[in-house]
Structure 1
């Protein structure tokens, strides 16, 4: 494995040799992932799993996404790619996770695996990615090295992690919400997203596969991901680019599921007509449209927000779809839209300042972009929500946040974070 960075001279850059071939069947994907360092992107049982690490791009600071995009574009341009399948996720692929804030101490990464196993639209494939050593014969030899496709591992029990409040205990969170409402009522800003953190400790090193499997089984309609110790199940598509088509899903506005069918329908209907939630949602949609529109020839949004049903929540959702107008890669669009109003607030600059002041901790990669990019710049990126970051020392930091607007009630927002923590807490046996 080598590291590369944006400052590397062309002659110093590694050259990648990539070979994608169809295979008969790879279901199920998750049990084939590396138990200690899972690399995975999946929804409804389809997606990609990465094994090993051929190359890693690390960036930080305000230009972290831009620098990663530039380095990736140069690497992809030099790569020798033979893709015999031609589906999203085939050919050269990197898995990525980026820090939320410009000043975060967390590193942002693009990880290029040695082996990618993929399934989509009923077809399966294997991609081998190696470093070229110079001449074409050596390149072919490097690419033809047979890396064994792992058999699915037997099912293991989910590791148990006991979570306790992190930097901001519940009563301090309620105080922060009250202070945010005061500032909103004073005209400083319209909305700010405030998050909480839970901390735990992971003892079983190889238990992450079982945790990811639990997320995928319980939340099949979300993007289930694992990149460099960041794992989660996000319902929110930040941006997707596929052969010139751009799409995104904006979520803002939340309520709990009802106890029975009638109660559940009532809750969904109440959310769809809630002035507070509709206003919060409208801010998030306007923010996404404003940032994507300059890069598109056409951009349409679903006419009304719809209620998106998850096992534990209802969300207000709007889908955006358009045609790319300027040749941007998926990472270029990630750079344009991050951070969205759904995870920062409105106006963006003021909200970022307020949340940094009131939250009391570094979000790390929580609410940052997570996903994958291919050699053409296409890719799928979500916002890292319903997630936890597992550190090398076994510390597990889980995160959940809420959009605070002028009529937010501190106790209600605290209760909403508890709901949003549920997927990751339960995935760790809680």
Structure 2
């Protein structure tokens, strides 16, 4: 990347920052056919990594040129406000716009556990260097924010120095740490929570509530997040991958669920609820899948999610369409019912308005929403942090993509926290729901290579 070319872009942004007396974002993008996002993440184990499908997009970002942190119930509105202001006069050199990536806590009202302290209510980073790979090839972006008091020469020089660090990997040979201790609520105690939920459903207080489990591993050494991501990538099937670093903590996962995507004003999502195991042979697997598509309890749970997504979006979109029947989404260890949904954003509305309208969906919270959230706060017994919450990216043109952070783990020095949950509805059996969480935990446990002696 040429320092003189960067300086021209930064100086143009600095002039606008002086004129308007506020920060202005600058981005310069160039083709980078020889750089590989996964290899770079594997080497550095820092920044952000993202790999989604339909459409395919892989991102690796290193360094933080700017960040937004916001708290409380209006956190997404504040992120939207700051990002819109920053991008109002963006200086864009090349075909790629500025792109921001981050996420938020599942429940801003829940007290924050110490292991989630590095992850704010909402936190989004503008990577200094961002490598992307999509249908148009690989592109490298340099992103920078110019303040009225910034020195463009100094920032251009610092950016080139950071670029050179891309090729100085900190990777060493992976050693899989042994588990010193595994802490989890005993099966009988968690199943008792499910029984409590079924009583609330029987009494008419709830029609559905999602209860999750938290497994904590104490380790003899830190886990290599790059090696874990490589293994997740090799077996990703229909999952989307993400890794978000904050300090020496990393939140990563392989989730089947997209919350909401926006491309040129067109929103796409899918309702995902109703699960069954994968079977060892194609014939058995087909039988399990056919049974799932005909299971009244699973279809009822799924239809509740479809209805709530449609109702949530109805006030901010037009041309809303949902498939009349669910299809199967098959992953490595589990298969789900999935219904595609699409719509067009109304004028003046943003992707983050859609996220605000949908989160938490009944697939991760329950119905009625407020009652289910209250039940979770009282009975679940741990802080979900960013688990089951939206993580994603948005660019200066209003495009973006957000996932629901399921099948995920929080990696901290010498600890690892895993999460999995399931929807409790009328007809649920506590022992079956526990087994479902075991199946969901398996994909991350395998990728993390956690072994307990």
Give TM-score, length-normalised by structure 1.
0.89
Cα distance in 2, alignment partners of residues 135 and 97 from structure 1: 29
State the Cα distance separating 1:162 from its structure 2 match. 3.5
**Distance 1:161-1:109 versus aligned 2 partners, 3 A rule:** farther
- Residues 53, 111 of structure 1: 8 Å contact kept: yes
Where does residue 148 of structure 1 map in the other structure?
164
Partner residue of 1:119 out of 107, 128, 133: 133
- Residues 66, 144 of structure 2: 8 Å contact kept: no
State the Cα distance separating 1:296 from its structure 2 match. 1.4
State the Cα distance separating 1:202 from its structure 2 match. 5.2
Partner residue of 2:384 out of 363, 368, 376: 363
Cα distance in 2, alignment partners of residues 182 and 11 from structure 1: 59
Q: How many residues align?
A: 414
- 1:301-330, CA deviations, whole angstroms, 9 ceiling, x for partnerless residues? 122100111111110001111222233222
- The answer on 1:254 being equivalent to 2:275 is yes
Partner residue of 1:196 out of 202, 206, 213: 213
State the Cα distance separating 1:429 from its structure 2 match. 0.7
- Residues 260, 267 of structure 2: 8 Å contact kept: yes
Return 5+ residue gaps in structure 2 as ranges.
1-18
Cα distance in 2, alignment partners of residues 297 and 271 from structure 1: 32
Secondary structure of the corresponding residue to residue 265 of structure 1:
helix
Cα distance in 1, alignment partners of residues 269 and 220 from structure 2: 37
State the Cα distance separating 1:216 from its structure 2 match. 1.5
Partner residue of 2:109 out of 88, 103, 110: 103
Secondary structure of the corresponding residue to residue 315 of structure 1:
strand
Cα distance in 1, alignment partners of residues 420 and 223 from structure 2: 25
Where does residue 281 of structure 1 map in the other structure?
302
Cα distance in 2, alignment partners of residues 404 and 375 from structure 1: 39
Partner residue of 1:94 out of 100, 114, 136: 100
- The answer on 1:218 being equivalent to 2:262 is no
Cα distance in 2, alignment partners of residues 133 and 71 from structure 1: 14
Partner residue of 1:183 out of 200, 218, 221: 200
State the Cα distance separating 1:66 from its structure 2 match. 2.0
- Residues 31, 155 of structure 1: 8 Å contact kept: no
**Distance 1:47-1:303 versus aligned 2 partners, 3 A rule:** same
State the Cα distance separating 1:24 from its structure 2 match. 2.4
- Residues 193, 404 of structure 1: 8 Å contact kept: yes
Secondary structure of the corresponding residue to residue 314 of structure 2:
helix
Secondary structure of the corresponding residue to residue 303 of structure 1:
coil
Partner residue of 2:293 out of 265, 272, 275: 272
Where does residue 26 of structure 1 map in the other structure?
35
Cα distance in 2, alignment partners of residues 163 and 417 from structure 1: 23
Where does residue 74 of structure 2 map in the other structure?
63
State the Cα distance separating 1:378 from its structure 2 match. 1.4
Cα distance in 2, alignment partners of residues 407 and 233 from structure 1: 29
Residue pairs, 1:157-176, within 5 angstroms: 157=174, 159-160=176-177, 162=179, 166=183, 168-176=185-193
Residue pairs, 1:297-376, within 5 angstroms: 297-376=318-397
Cα distance in 1, alignment partners of residues 158 and 27 from structure 2: 10
- Residues 262, 399 of structure 2: 8 Å contact kept: yes
Cα distance in 2, alignment partners of residues 200 and 428 from structure 1: 11
- Residues 238, 330 of structure 2: 8 Å contact kept: no
- 1:163-207, CA deviations, whole angstroms, 9 ceiling, x for partnerless residues? 966563322110000110011011001000000001124555571
- Residues 252, 410 of structure 2: 8 Å contact kept: yes
Return 5+ residue gaps in structure 1 as ranges.
1-9
Cα distance in 2, alignment partners of residues 360 and 214 from structure 1: 31
- Residues 178, 221 of structure 2: 8 Å contact kept: no
State the Cα distance separating 1:79 from its structure 2 match. 3.0
RMSD (Å) for aligned C-alpha atoms: 2.6
Secondary structure of the corresponding residue to residue 52 of structure 1:
strand
Cα distance in 2, alignment partners of residues 164 and 206 from structure 1: 15
Give TM-score, length-normalised by structure 2.
0.85
Cα distance in 1, alignment partners of residues 47 and 140 from structure 2: 17
Cα distance in 2, alignment partners of residues 200 and 141 from structure 1: 42
**Distance 1:220-1:13 versus aligned 2 partners, 3 A rule:** farther
Cα distance in 2, alignment partners of residues 70 and 98 from structure 1: 16
- 1:19-59, CA deviations, whole angstroms, 9 ceiling, x for partnerless residues? 122222433x2120263424011136741111111112112
Where does residue 6 of structure 1 map in the other structure?
none
**Distance 1:136-1:200 versus aligned 2 partners, 3 A rule:** closer
- Residues 22, 124 of structure 1: 8 Å contact kept: yes
Secondary structure of the corresponding residue to residue 102 of structure 1:
coil
Larger gyration radius, structure 1 or structure 2: 2
Where does residue 431 of structure 2 map in the other structure?
411
Secondary structure of the corresponding residue to residue 178 of structure 1:
helix
- The answer on 1:296 being equivalent to 2:304 is no
